[in-house]
């Protein structure tokens, strides 16, 4: 069994598939980590983690929802971060992809959540899209007392990967690695040491090539494992064991 370190199983797109997802636990999947991007998703992610033993929660405000960062959202994290099922702050970071983004607000919210992660002594699950230079600049100035981070759904090139690895970050890969137009990620995966890699689906998004056009389910992370094992030219059992060890070392509150 394997682990999906980033799946939005509280997304409304997955309501009709929820029974299948639960059946996949303890058959195909050991664990699922459900990140947040808003106050509502923080609440639902936390609730799922309390109801389902194999589900863990990460709490944060996504950069595209930076205007939701306020005393209420901050307090929700402060009230719940000690819970044994809350394993990280995430996903938060910078996203310059869509027109009209508020760069200054995103940076402010990013830094405030980073300081909160330090206070909580939890690792961070970072979202970075079209903003690597600013992300690296801001993070490099704020690494003191940092409890570690992973850039989820990494889609940068080797030069970006090198800069992130030099800062001690982990890189997490999705079904993008199976896309023809993302073949450059194969070179990135060959470059990144296996002990610095995590794997995920980002469900319900980014279904691997085999399931293209369908809603992505957490159990489809199997395709990501298969692709990375082939790219790395290693046996699946070796990859599985290494990735699990990476996850246990990073998310120290997980019980595997």
- Can you tell me the distance from the alpha carbon of 183 to that of 176, in angstroms, rounded to the nearest whole number? 9
- Can you tell me the distance from the alpha carbon of 151 to that of 144, in angstroms, rounded to the nearest whole number? 18
Q: Is residue 243 assigned to a domain?
A: yes
- pLDDT for 8: 98
- Looking at the chain, the whole-number percentage of residues with pLDDT higher than 70 is 100
- Can you tell me the distance from the alpha carbon of 47 to that of 30, in angstroms, rounded to the nearest whole number? 19
- Can you tell me the distance from the alpha carbon of 96 to that of 231, in angstroms, rounded to the nearest whole number? 30
pLDDT tens for residues 46-71? 999 999 999 999 999 999 999 999 99
User: Exposed (0-12), middle (13-18) or buried (19+): which is 180, by Cβ within 10 Å?
Assistant: exposed
Token couple for 8: 């939005």
pLDDT above 90 for 198 = yes
pLDDT tens for residues 7-51? 999 999 999 999 999 999 989 999 999 999 999 999 999 999 999
- pLDDT for 93: 98
pLDDT tens for residues 220-243? 999 999 999 999 999 999 999 999
CB atoms within 10 A of CB 136: 17
Asked if 198 contacts 153 with a C-beta cutoff of 8 angstroms, the reply is: no
Asked if 38 contacts 68 with a C-beta cutoff of 8 angstroms, the reply is: yes
pLDDT tens for residues 75-112? 999 999 999 999 999 999 999 999 999 999 999 999 99
* Residue range of the domain that includes 226: 2-250
Any idea what DSSP says for residue 64?
G
Give phi and psi for 197, each to the nearest 5: -110, 140
- Can you tell me the distance from the alpha carbon of 69 to that of 63, in angstroms, rounded to the nearest whole number? 9
pLDDT tens for residues 109-148? 999 999 999 999 999 999 999 999 999 999 999 999 999 9
> What are the percentages of helix, strand and coil residues in the chain, rounded to 5?
50, 15, 35
Q: Is residue 255 assigned to a domain?
A: no
Element (H, E) at 197: strand 197-199
pTM to 2 decimals? 0.97
Q: Is residue 234 assigned to a domain?
A: yes
Task: Report the candidate in 132, 101, 126 with the shortest Cα–Cα distance to residue 114.
Answer: 126
- pLDDT for 60: 98
- pLDDT for 26: 86
Q: Is residue 256 assigned to a domain?
A: no
Q: Is residue 116 assigned to a domain?
A: yes
- Can you tell me the distance from the alpha carbon of 245 to that of 38, in angstroms, rounded to the nearest whole number? 30
CATH number of the domain bearing residue 175: 3.20.20.140
Q: Is residue 155 assigned to a domain?
A: yes
**Number of domains comprising the chain:** 1
pLDDT tens for residues 140-192? 999 999 999 999 999 999 999 999 999 999 999 999 999 999 999 999 999 99
Element (H, E) at 228: helix 221-232
């Amino acid at each position: 069994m394997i682990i999906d370190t980033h799946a939005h199983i509280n997304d409304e797109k997955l309501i009709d598939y929820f029974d299948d997802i639960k059946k996949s636990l303890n058959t195909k999947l050991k664990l699922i980590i459900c990140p947040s991007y808003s106050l509502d998703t923080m609440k639902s992610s936390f609730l799922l983690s309390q109801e389902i033993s194999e589900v863990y929660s990460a709490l944060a405000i996504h950069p595209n929802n930076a205007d939701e960062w306020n005393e209420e959202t901050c307090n929700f994290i402060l009230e719940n971060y000690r819970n044994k099922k809350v394993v990280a702050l995430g996903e938060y970071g910078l996203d310059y992809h869509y027109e009209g983004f508020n760069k200054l607000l995103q940076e402010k919210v990013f830094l405030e959540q980073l300081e909160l992660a330090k206070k909580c002594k939890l690792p961070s699950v970072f979202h970075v899209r079209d903003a690597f230079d600013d992300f690296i600049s801001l993070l490099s100035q704020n690494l003191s007392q940092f409890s570690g981070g992973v850039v989820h759904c990494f889609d940068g090139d080797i030069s970006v990967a090198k800069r992130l690895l030099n800062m001690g970050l982990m890189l997490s890969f999705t079904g993008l690695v199976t896309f023809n137009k993302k073949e450059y990620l194969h070179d990135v995966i060959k470059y990144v040491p296996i002990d610095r890699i995590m794997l995920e689906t980002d469900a319900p998004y980014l279904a691997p090539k085999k399931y293209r056009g369908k809603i992505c389910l957490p159990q489809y992370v199997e395709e990501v494992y298969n692709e990375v094992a082939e790219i790395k030219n290693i046996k699946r059992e070796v990859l599985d064991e290494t990735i699990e060890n990476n996850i246990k070392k990073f998310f120290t509150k997980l019980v595997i």
